[in-house]
Structure formats: C-alpha cells, structure tokens
Homo-oligomer: A and B are copies of this chain.
Amino acid sequence: MPPTAHAVVLLSGGLDSATALALAREQGFACHALSLDYGQRHDAELSAARRLAAHLGAVEHKVVHVGLDAFGGSALTDAHIAVPEAQGAGIPVTYVPARNTILLALALGWAEVLGARDLFIGVNAVDYSGYPDCRPAFIQAFQDLARVATKAGVEGAGFQIHAPLLHMSKAEIVRAGHRLGLDYGLTVSCYQADPEGRACGRCDACRLRAQGFAEAGLPDPTRYR
C-alpha cells in the first residue's frame, strides 16, 4: 500500500465502527470518516462520531443527511430488526431498511470524489447473524458491484470493502480497540442513549456491549445514566 492511501470509513459513533476506524488507521490509511444523519438519529451518536473522528486521527469527518424517515415507520414492524428490550415505544434507531447497502453506496460516492479505493465498514456477522447485510456474501456482492458501478472500478483495480470485524466476537473487538488506545468511553452504542450519550444499560446493544467488556476482562468505560 502506498503511504498516502486514503480510505472512507463509515463511523456511526458506536463501538464497532470506532474499532473499524482504529484498525484502518493501524493499517496506515488516511481516514475520511463518514456518518449518516437519518433524520431520526440520536444527536448523541453523531456527537460521539465527531469526538471519535478526532480521537482516532481521521483526516476529516463528514455528516451527510439522508431523509430515510420519509419511508415511514415500518422499521418498527420488520421481523429482522433488533427491537430494544427496554420499556416504552423506543424506535430501533440503529436499523433502517437496506441500511448497509445505503451506507456503502454513499461511501462509494465519496470515495469516487476523493480518489480513494478502500472502504471500511464495522459490520459483524457474529452478533447480528440475522441481518443479511452483515454477512460475507453481502460484502463480496458490494465489492463486485463497486467494480462495475464506477469508472475507477472498471478501469483500475476496483475497490476493496474492508469489514475487519466480520468474524470477531464482541470481546475480540473490544480487545483490538483497547490495544490501539481507543477510549470506548467516547462511543455510544445504546439504542436509547440520553442527549449526553449516557446508556440505558438494558437494551440489546447495551447488553452485548457490557458482555464484550466482561468477556474481554477489560473495564467497561460506558457511562450509564
């Protein structure tokens, strides 16, 4: 890899994507972090993404608004959504239909502008095996698409879609970030974090995250409310 290779890194503000960014940096990429504002997203996540981009040495960070709320509330009724276990009518903000396809499509657009040929996404097949777009087959299919969808793909060596967490357990992810000095206290995983980013401690995302730190034998820096 040339020393100045650039990568677009999808950064939600959560634990997984922050680790993906840390790993991309470790590989020597100049990282352009990309976050999406879905129109229904917690500000706490986007604030976390901004802090993480700086903390992890991204060369820049963009937040792109995508009005997916226009497609209506059926994310709530879709069978493969991880619904929060907690009380109340919490919207599963971490899910949108065709989520990772849309995320990678936008990352591809930015990569085309930048001349970058590497995209990073923090998907994980272990924790979310029920999500089709978190599997190796999806990553491969998007890489195949990127090759035929763009001028750079057709004329050059194509794009590499990196999913470094794909086969890692949550404990392995936490250990990797810890080794690289990632301050997980800056990340927000909770489906229903408060405006300051403090976690509920009860939803699926909180449970998986706490379990990861416990299994890794590392202190959990999560700020609970």
Contact = CB atoms under 8 A, between A and B. Distances in A.
Interface residues of A, number: 47
> How many copies of this kind of chain does the complex include?
2
A135 interface: yes
Nearest to A154: B132
A133 interface: yes
Given A64-B70, A145-B141, A148-B138, A108 B112 contact: no
Given A64-B68, A141-B145, A97 B113 contact: yes
Interface string A141-166: 11011111111011000000000000
B100 A149 contact: yes
A67 to B, nearest CB: 4
Interface in A88-126: 96-102, 104-106, 108-110, 112-113
A5 interface: no
A85 interface: no
Given A144-B141, A144-B144, A109 B68 contact: yes
A152 to B, nearest CB: 9
Nearest to A39: B65
A80 interface: yes
Contacts of A100: 149
Contacts of A74: 113
Interface of A: 62-68, 70-72, 74-75, 78-80, 96-102, 104-106, 108-110, 112-113, 132-133, 135, 137-138, 141-142, 144-151, 153-154
Given A97-B112, A97-B150, 19 more contacts: A62-B70, A65-B65, A68-B106, A71-B109, A71-B110, A78-B113, A79-B151, A80-B151, A98-B108, A99-B109, A101-B105, A101-B109, A101-B145, A101-B150, A102-B102, A102-B106, A133-B148, A138-B145, A141-B141
